[in-house]
């Protein structure tokens, strides 16, 4: 870690003493897996490489990365902060922060976005962003006075513009409650409001389904930012983990956006059990029949890549415009299955430069081991049945499986 970051004092050290119980999480860990607080019910999926570097295990936690980014998180509970205005005013004063504050609502919870510009340690200048958002302890609605607040400050040395996306990605990964776990994050929701309700037709189908006016724009903005974050890892030892996090971020952002479409498609494809096309003469269960219908649909999309951009079509545009590369289609297919309560996942390969869908379904076909399950594979870019895979891309060791639970 570079000398300019190692002596940095957590900005929370001189802020009010608070009650922060990160129950159930070890005080020393890497962030390869999303973090969850069972006491307060919130989640964070920090960028790869952030490590625990400070705090006392009860009221504050600090993380730093080799890329010189940092994040401090704390919960203010049982205090005299009835509003985000009162809390952020105190933070501004104690940090000596010169940045602006904007207040907004995130999914019926009060929130604030802070622009960070402050000095710490021996006068070193820092920049970044902060998020303050209301929590609901134990999943219960908070009362009218002094609700618990989660505050997270993501920051790094001033003048390093390449860290801005890293900071925003870290904050956007926060899900304040279980209900927010599969919804657009607070930063994306603030910067790209979803707009009013409209209807649109999934690609190639005469089926009006509900959508929000600006879902495609917001979904693409998330993709572009997370791809910029992914590029920061270059040949890093945790590049594969960062790659998996990219897909987790896209999946989380798109799940609720496409919930209405997925439900409508499930009803549209509600076909009775029939012959298994991969094994004539046998019967396919309804879940497998639905998975086959969804697979046939994404296989019909136009193959498209954007080598000058993120090289990933957001899932809303993929679904309604019928276009995308292998990973867009595989992720969309897995999302549709999960919406229908069929376990779905994806597998990706840097060596093969390919992605495929995975489903926990019975029946014949090629399978990929992930966790304790052998998943049925789904080729989304060629017109083949569920469970078929080309021999030249079938070496298991060259694939990485990704789940989204």
Query: How many domains does the structure of the chain reveal?
Result: 2
Residue 234 is assigned to a structural domain of this protein: yes
Q: Round to whole Å and give the CA distance between 192 and 173.
A: 15
pTM, rounded to two decimals: 0.88
The two structure tokens encoding residue 342: 């069929």
Q: How many CA atoms lie within 13 A of 239 on its CB side?
A: 9
Largest interatomic CA distance in the chain: 76
Least confident among 29-33, 273-277, 384-388: 29-33
CATH number of residue 229's parent domain: 3.10.620
Residue 319 is assigned to a structural domain of this protein: yes
Same domain assignment for residues 254 and 125: no
Same domain assignment for residues 228 and 99: no
Q: CA-CA-CA-CA torsion for 40, 405, 335, 282, nearest 10 degrees?
A: -150
Same domain assignment for residues 214 and 350: yes
- 70 lies in which domain range? 35-189
Which residues, other chains included, contact 278 with Cβ-Cβ below 8 Å and sequence gap of 6+?
363, 364, 365, 385, 386, 387, 388
Q: Are 249 and 173 in contact (CB under 8 A)?
A: yes
Least confident among 100-109, 130-139, 332-341, 382-391: 130-139
CATH number of residue 80's parent domain: 3.40.1000.10
Of 142, 160, 189, at which residue does a domain stop?
Answer: 189
- Give the pLDDT mean for 212-231: 97
Whether residue 25 is predicted with pLDDT greater than 60 in this model: the reply is no
For residue 75, which of 158, 3, 149 has the smallest C-alpha distance?
A: 149
Of 164, 189, 214, at which residue does a domain stop?
Answer: 189
Same domain assignment for residues 117 and 201: no
Q: Are 127 and 156 in contact (CB under 8 A)?
A: yes
Q: Round to whole Å and give the CA distance between 386 and 231.
A: 33
Q: What is residue 283's three-state secondary structure?
A: strand
For 39-93, the pLDDT digits (tens) are 888 899 999 988 888 765 555 778 888 767 899 999 888 777 889 999 999 999 9
Task: Please tell me which residue, 36 or 281, carries the higher pLDDT value.
Answer: 36
Q: Round to whole Å and give the CA distance between 99 and 118.
A: 8
């Amino acid at each position: 870690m570079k000398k300019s970051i190692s002596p940095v004092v957590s900005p929370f050290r001189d802020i009010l003493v608070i009650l922060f119980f990160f129950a159930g999480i070890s005080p020393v860990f890497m962030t390869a897996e999303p973090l969850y607080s069972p006491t307060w019910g919130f989640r964070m999926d920090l960028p790869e490489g952030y490590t625990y570097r400070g705090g006392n295990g009860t009221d504050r936690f600090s993380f730093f990365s080799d890329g010189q980014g940092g994040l401090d998180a704390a919960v203010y509970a049982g205090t005299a902060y009835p509003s985000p205005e009162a809390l952020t005013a105190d933070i501004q004063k104690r940090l000596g922060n010169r940045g602006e504050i904007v207040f907004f609502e995130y999914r019926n919870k009060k929130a604030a976005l802070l622009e960070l510009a402050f000095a710490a340690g021996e006068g070193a200048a820092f920049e970044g962003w902060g998020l303050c958002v209301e929590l609901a302890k134990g999943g219960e609605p908070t009362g009218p006075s002094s609700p618990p607040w989660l505050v997270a400050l993501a920051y790094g040395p001033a003048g390093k513009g390449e860290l801005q996306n890293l900071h925003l990605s870290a904050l956007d990964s926060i899900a304040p409650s279980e209900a927010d776990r599969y919804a657009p994050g607070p930063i994306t929701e603030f910067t790209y409001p979803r707009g009013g309700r409209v209807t649109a037709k999934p690609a190639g189908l005469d089926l009006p389904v509900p959508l929000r006016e600006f879902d495609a724009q917001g979904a693409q903005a998330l993709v572009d930012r997370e791809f910029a974050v992914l590029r920061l890892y270059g040949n890093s030892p945790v590049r594969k983990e960062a790659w998996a996090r990219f897909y987790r971020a896209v999946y989380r952002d798109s799940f609720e956006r496409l919930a209405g479409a997925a439900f409508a498609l499930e009803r549209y494809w509600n076909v009775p059990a029939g012959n298994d096309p991969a094994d004539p003469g046998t019967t396919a269960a309804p879940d497998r029949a639905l998975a086959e219908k969804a697979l046939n649909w994404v296989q019909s999309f136009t193959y498209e890549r954007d080598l000058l951009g993120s090289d990933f079509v957001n899932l809303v545009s993929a679904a309604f415009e019928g276009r995308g590369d292998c990973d867009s289609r595989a992720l969309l297919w897995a999302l549709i299955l999960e919406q229908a309560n069929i376990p779905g996942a994806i597998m990706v390969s840097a060596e093969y430069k390919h992605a495929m869908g995975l489903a926990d379904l019975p029946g014949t076909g090629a399978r990929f081991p992930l966790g304790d399950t052998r998943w049925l594979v789904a080729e989304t870019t060629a017109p083949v049945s569920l469970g078929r895979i080309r021999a030249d891309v079938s070496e298991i060791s060259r694939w990485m499986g990704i789940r989204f639970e």
